[in-house]
Amino acid sequence: MKRKSAELKRLAREILTHHYGTPMGAMVVTELITVILLLPFSWNITAESSVREWTIYYIAAFVISLLASLLRAGCIWIALNMARRKQYAFSDLFYAFKNYPDKYILAALLFTLFCVLPMLPFFAVVWFLETSKRSAVLFAALLLSVIFMLVFVILLSLNYGLYAYILLDRPQISVAEAFRESRRMMRGNKGRLFYLNLAFLGWEALCVLSLGVGYLWVEPYMTQTQTCFYMEVSGDLKQGNREENVR
């Protein structure tokens, strides 16, 4: 029987109780490294910056986001080990840098490209709005392009969002196989994951109201809950975990 969102969240809280330190630290370091790497390219960017400066900034941000995908894989690796009652440590944050980093970077690149494609109609309509005479037709096209973009990006995220988990569990397979396996696992489960993500909107609103401080607790909570979801759809959650959890 499939577990409800409330049950998966409860399991995540049980796993994290008294063990928030490592995943919280991993999340903070991931964000700090990303910000520090991007800082030389963003500190002097303003609305008056040249096209060349903006181009360099966007290219740098894209490359840094690919490198950050290795750190995010490390955060997931910590969450998997915690859920399975295996040994884990803060150093696991850098696990993907030592184990097939090319696969994680390639997968992140492909996933980003997949998500960019549905955005192209939106960008095209925005360009027409900036360069042509505005009309009701263009504004209607803008609304439709936004809806199209959101629907397809969400569907892509639901279908292929488990690729990092799969590559961590089965490093011998190719990136294409990881995407196919993610899509297979999500058959009949997309609605469940969508609802699970919606269940965190209230928590995210509280994080914004707390000026981001709340993310220290909510982000590990979300990652652990999604990890429990992955373990369930992969058939791993029902297996007994015998090893002790170590901080």
* Structural domain for 158, as ranges: 17-233
- pLDDT for 240 equals 43
Say whether pLDDT at 146 is over 80. yes
Whether 48 is in a domain gets the answer yes
Query: End-to-end alpha-carbon separation of the chain, Å?
Result: 31
**CB contact burial 134-152 (16+ within 10 A = b; e otherwise):** eeeeeeebbeebeeebeeb
Whether 11 is in a domain gets the answer no
3 state SS of 156: helix
Whether 239 is in a domain gets the answer no
3 state SS of 246: strand
CA dist 54 to 39, 64, 130, Å?
14, 15, 18
Whether 206 is in a domain gets the answer yes
- 168-206 confidence digits (pLDDT tens): 999 999 999 999 999 999 999 999 999 999 989 888 888
Whether 3 is in a domain gets the answer no
- 46-94 confidence digits (pLDDT tens): 878 888 888 899 999 999 999 999 999 999 999 999 999 999 999 999 9
Whether 12 is in a domain gets the answer no
Total domains in the fold of the chain? 1
- 215-239 confidence digits (pLDDT tens): 899 999 999 999 999 999 998 876 4
Whether 244 is in a domain gets the answer no
Question: Tokens in use for 158?
Answer: 């639901």
Whether 246 is in a domain gets the answer no
The alpha carbon of residue 240 and the mean position of all alpha carbons in its chain are separated, in whole angstroms, by 27
